[in-house]
Each structure stands twice: as structure tokens, then as C-alpha cells.
A and B are shown apart, each in its own frame.
Chain A
Amino acid sequence: MIDAQIVTRLKNRDKTALSDLYDHYAAAFYGQALRILDTEATAQEVVQDTFLKIWNNISQYDDSKWKLFTWMYRIARNEAIDKKRSKEIKHNDKTTSIDTSVYTYEANSSTVSNVEDIGVKQLLNLLDEDTKSILELVYFQGYTHSEVADYTKTPIGTVKTKVRRAILKLRSVLIKE
């Protein structure tokens, strides 16, 4: 998918461009929203809000600054995190377990089970336990570096270094494919 072409089509209000964009990226954003929120209905709302925001705000997209994906990714991630924090979210036990998982982080690193996908598991198994848990919290569950640092009582520098090393490791695998 070529950024410049699809952006031009979106800016020209071409609805088939939105449809193409959806076909390519909806699964990525839905997967992320599910991991952050863990309830299907809310995750679907997030995906819907994300694509509507992309459609409505495409004029603000600055291709000298962002790759299209990165711009959309931040919208999707913020939508999911906002939703998680907002009062709209429905009460259920699954949500509670995510919210409190950071507190039990040291006691058990069961957060791994939140990531269902086999592919991810294989990727994550390349990392040591500690790095894996930190990457999960930051990348997959939408906590900020400093939140993770606070909750796990790890210096933020260490968290940043661990996330970076994990991403470099995953990159070396992903780029081969």
C-alpha cells in the first residue's frame, strides 16, 4: 500500500480509499484495541472511532513528519487508551484483571496469556521473561514507559533500554520475513 496514493485519495474524499485502508489495517488496530481493552464491543468501537477520525482528520496529516501508519497508529492507540480510561467502559472482570495486572506484575507475570496470537507468542519467546513482560505492558497493553517504571519499581532508563532491545530483537526477525 503506497502512502502517498492513498492519502491523496482520502484527501479527495474517495470512500473506496477508506475501504482499502480498512482492509489493510483494521485487523492491526483491532488486535491492538483488544489487547489494551480486552472486551470485543469496546475494541470495535475503538476501531470505528479510529477510522472515522482518520477520515475526518486526514487534512491534518503531514507526510513530511509522519509515516501514514505511524500517524494512524497513534490515533488508534490513543483511542484505545482513552476508552480504557473513560467511564464508558463496561464493568467486567476481564477489564479489572488488566487494570490490576500491573500491581501483580512482580508476583506473577501472567500477562503473557493476554496475548493470544500464536505468532506473537513465538516472537515473544525470543525474549527473556523480564523483557517480555515489560514489552507486553508497554507495547501490547498500552501502558507508558513511566507507568511501567513506577509500578514495577524499575528505573525508567532500564525500562526504556529493555523496550528498545526487545524491539530491535523483534525487528531482526520481522525484517527477515
Chain B
Amino acid sequence: MNIKDYIESGILEQYLLGELSPIEEKEVEKLMAQHPEIRQEYFTLADTFEKLSLQTGVEPPGELKDMIMESVGGAKPSRTQSTQDNSSRPTNNLIFFAGIVAIISMLIAAGVAYMCKQSKTELSSQISNQLSQIETLNNDKLLLTARVNQLAEDLRVMGSPEYNQVNLKGLPLAPQAFAQVFWNQSNREVYLKADHLPEPAVGKQYQLWAIVNNAPVSMGVFDLPTSNQLLKMNTVANAAAFAITLEPQGGVESPTLEAMFVIGNVVSG
């Protein structure tokens, strides 16, 4: 494995941000244990994230700390302690009784006020729950609309007579591989359907090539699409064939012919 490519792939950033699945995390941890360079890079990266976070911090309000310390049972911030003084018992029973009555009515009033406040808070929290559900649904709707629009666009390209369909068939390296290019010769647009290519090795990326006047021209690198959508590639005016090679991350200037996965000639029509 090429350690530099592995580091460059950005997987350690994803690990730090907690984006990887538990299996992928285990894999990263295994590699870190094996390769000091990866571990070193992870520590430097963690350090950068720490500095960046500290640098971009925003001071929270002071009460927040008190609340946190209180909820772990820590000392409350300086609060006047009510010293109990039992020495001066009320001499007059009436005053004592009036005191009790006053305390009880205060407690009742406080209780009623608390209950009112509670039900009001409950209601407003129910309302905000409902509102946020609506918001979630709206967001889902936006996502679905975006997806439907994407599919409609893909279908338009694939069904349009203006797009010349080029089938790229698997070479001995991957006989089962298959991809399709949809090329519009008048506006030069190129779309790629690449959902039948093997998963690339870490640090590698597929690169699409057009053969123009017997020379390869890069049409851009790509990762396998997450939801089978068409990928928009670079434009080309006049191509005799299209091919896909597997290259180091970021692509190369001229194709590695031994790493060619699929190729297909343009059938003019």
C-alpha cells in the first residue's frame, strides 16, 4: 500500500470527523498501528483540528458552566446559605399560626404558578416539535425533488437522439466491467454512466479519456457514483473512442495503458 496516497486520500480527516463506519474505523486503526507515518499524520491532523477549534471558539454565557457543574453534583456557585436559627421560637401562638398560614398560601400560589408555567412550556414545546417535524418533512421533500429532477435529467440525456451512446466494454483486466458514455456532438457535452466498474483501490481514481486524432485527451477523474446517477464529464468536440483507466488519486496527464478497464468506439450515426 502506498502510505502517501492513503494519507492524501483524506480518510484520516473523515476518521477524525467521525464519518466512517465502525468497520472502516477499525481498518484505519489497524493501519495506524502498523504504520508510524499514518499515526504521526493523524496526530498532526488532530492537533490542527484542536488549534482550529480553539481559534474559532465562541465564549458561552457564564450560567452554562454553573448548570453543568450543578448537574454533576458539584459545588453550586456562591449562594447565600440560609442559616437555621431554632433558638427564637415564636412566643405568641397566633403569630406562629399566621406565619404557617402565610407560608402555606405562598406555597399554594407558587404551585399554581408553576403548574401554569409548566403547561404553557409543554404546549410550546409540543408546537415546536410539530414545527420541526414539518421542517423535517419539507427537507425530505426537497431531497426527493432534487433526486427526481436528477433522474429526469439523466433519463432525458439517455433517451435523447442528440446524445450518441457509446458502450465501453470490459478489457481482460476486468471482463465484467461496463460503462456508457452519452456524448452530444453538437454541444460537446459528455455524460458517463459508470455503475458497473469495480470498486477502486484506496488512493486510486478512475479517469475517463477520449481518443481525439489518435491521442488520448483527459475527460476528468471520477469516483463511482453513490446513486447510479450520470456523471457530467469534460466536453469534447470530436472523439473516435472513449476509455477508462485507473490512475493515482487526482489523475494523470497520459493514461496508464496497462490499467485500462473499458474501451468503446464511437459509432457515428
Q: Which of B18, B29, B59, B60 has the most CB of A within 10 A?
A: B60
With A73-B49, A90-B132 already in contact, the answer to whether A120 and B55 are too (CB < 8 A) is yes
- A77 within 8 Å of B by Cβ? yes
A163: chain B residues at CB < 8 Å are 10, 13
Name the distance in Å between A169's Cβ and chain B's nearest Cβ: 10
- Complex formed: what's the CA distance from A69 to B52 in Å? 12
Cβ contact within 8 Å between A146 and B13: no
Cβ contact within 8 Å between A78 and B18: yes
Among B39-47, B163-171, B173-181, B234-242, the stretch that binds chain A is B39-47
- B64 within 8 Å of A by Cβ? yes
Among B86-94, B218-226, B254-262, the stretch that binds chain A is B218-226
Cβ contact within 8 Å between B68 and A52: yes
CB-CB nearest in chain A for B222? A155
Task: Give residues 121-170 of B contacting A (CB, 8 Å).
Answer: 128-129, 131-136, 139, 142, 146
Name the distance in Å between B18's Cβ and chain A's nearest Cβ: 4
Cβ contact within 8 Å between B10 and A87: no
Q: Which secondary structure dominates where chain A touches chain B? A: helix
Name the distance in Å between B157's Cβ and chain A's nearest Cβ: 14
Name the distance in Å between B71's Cβ and chain A's nearest Cβ: 6
A9: chain B residues at CB < 8 Å are none
* Interface footprint category on A: 35 or more
Cβ contact within 8 Å between B53 and A167: no
CB-CB nearest in chain B for A117? B56
- A96 within 8 Å of B by Cβ? yes
- A171 within 8 Å of B by Cβ? yes
- A70 within 8 Å of B by Cβ? yes
Q: Which residues of B come within 8 Å of A, CB atoms?
A: 8-11, 13-14, 16-19, 29, 43-61, 64-65, 67-69, 71-75, 128-129, 131-136, 139, 142, 146, 205, 221-223, 226-227, 231-232, 249-250
Query: Could you pull out 15 A-B pairs where Cβ atoms are within 8 angstroms?
Result: A30-B60, A32-B56, A34-B58, A44-B64, A69-B46, A89-B132, A91-B131, A144-B19, A145-B14, A146-B19, A150-B226, A155-B222, A157-B249, A161-B250, A171-B48
The 8 closest A-B pairs by CB, nearest first: A27-B57, A160-B10, A91-B131, A31-B58, A28-B53, A30-B60, A15-B74, A171-B48
